[in-house]
Copies of this chain bind each other. A is one copy, B any other.
Amino acid sequence: VTDSFERLTDGGITSALGYRAGATFAGIKTAGEGKLDLAVLISDAPASAAGVFTRNRVKSPSVVLDQERLSAGVARALVVNSGCANTCTGAEGYADAVATASRVARRWDLPEAQVLVSSTGVIGVRLPMDRIASGLERVEPRPDGGADFARAIMTTDTRPKSRAVRLALDGTTVTVGGAAKGSGMIHPDMATMLAYVTTDAAVPPELLRAAVRRAVDRSFNCVTVDGDSSTNDSLIVFANGRAGGRPIEAGSPAADAFQAALEAVCVDLAREIARDGEGATRLIEVLVEAAADEADARRAARTVAGSPLVKAAVYGNDPNWGRIMMALGRSGAALREETTDLWIGEVQVMRQGRPLPFDEAAASAAMRAPEVRLRARIGVGDAHGVAWGCDLTEEYVRINSEYTT
């Protein structure tokens, strides 16, 4: 896979051609200076669309609606609200999601079945339909509205998350950009991950679906904040072809280049989600090499990145390689202890399954870096995988033990 793309400064969900976004404060969240809680994204042309959603068996009706509508593979718009998850709301919640999409379709004259809906926030509360209706009247999507969109989908994220890359596909310049929100806790609820990516490349629905599936396995599925997965997690990707190139063919060099660009945007957003995990002070990147296959490598990396003991050790700058070995061992990945090597930053702490004497000050310093790199070679094959997480801090406990109900 090539990575002949360039990252854009200030890129985001409206960097690609033919997308407009806008947001407003509808009063779904409690009011606050500069707050936004309702966003709309519109593609100027029908777009191929694909999504990946939470596997949680308790699902927001908004997610259910999107899954139904995406089976057609085409979409024009999406509307996202923060402040209310529209979860545990039953048939009424489903009707509210349909009605929200319907309002968007009428306001901007779009086919109703091509409008998607996302919600994040409080569980067990119905969407305030009157506020959403009047809020939608105030939204004015614009080609430079990406930054507002990224802010409006935040819950307790400490900063918005937008990224875009640009590349040439068969002589046509195309852009892939996106926005995401991560782990914020709002009453009485859990973190939700929402991510949206748009491109002006021409990608047939089938190819887009496969590309999104592959990209999510290497990005959002490799990020962990606390192991809890929400009822609303969603990744939705639009490809409207407005850059003007020919449709990408499966198996072509252009397909590879598009895949690399899509993965880059997803990985960049996933890393931002990990970095901005609740209470986090550091990003942890775990690289597992010499695994039996890529799935095993990612499984092992994710288990290390998600281990409370590893996360707490990083917080304490403690080069505690025993916890890393324990997490690798319990991951279920095939592993040969006697050929396992381990590094903390650049410092090798284990060779062939046995501890090495190492420079503890250097290893501890590697754990104080804003991005802490852990690397393991587990000695069974030649596949590798990466996962991202964050440290576990007293602040995480404080945030999540505050009486919010």
Contact = CB atoms under 8 A, between A and B. Distances in A.
Contacts of A317: 403
A124 interface: yes
Given A313-B400, A325-B123, A354-B88, A330 B228 contact: yes
A337 B57 contact: yes
B124 A330 contact: no
A230 B365 CA distance: 27
A351 B58 CA distance: 14
A130 to B, nearest CB: 21
A328 B401 CA distance: 19
A397 B312 contact: yes
A316 interface: yes
A400 B312 contact: yes
A309 interface: yes
B328 A364 contact: no
B309 A190 contact: yes
A226 to B, nearest CB: 4
B58 A329 contact: yes
Given A360-B405, A402-B318, A326 B190 contact: yes
A128 interface: no
A22 interface: no
A136 to B, nearest CB: 26
A370 interface: no
A11 B124 CA distance: 47
Contacts of A87: 322, 325
Contacts of A392: 397, 400-401
A326 B90 contact: no
A316 B190 contact: no
A234 interface: no
Interface in A80-128: 87-90, 122-125
A188 B322 contact: yes
A98 B225 CA distance: 42
A358 to B, nearest CB: 10
Contact of A329 (B59, B124, B308): B59
Interface of A: 55-59, 87-90, 122-125, 185, 188-191, 226-231, 307-309, 312-313, 315-323, 325-335, 337-338, 350, 353-355, 360, 363-364, 392-394, 396-398, 400-405
18 contacts: A56-B326, A57-B332, A57-B333, A57-B335, A88-B322, A88-B353, A90-B338, A188-B320, A189-B320, A189-B326, A190-B326, A226-B308, A228-B323, A231-B325, A308-B308, A316-B400, A319-B405, A392-B400
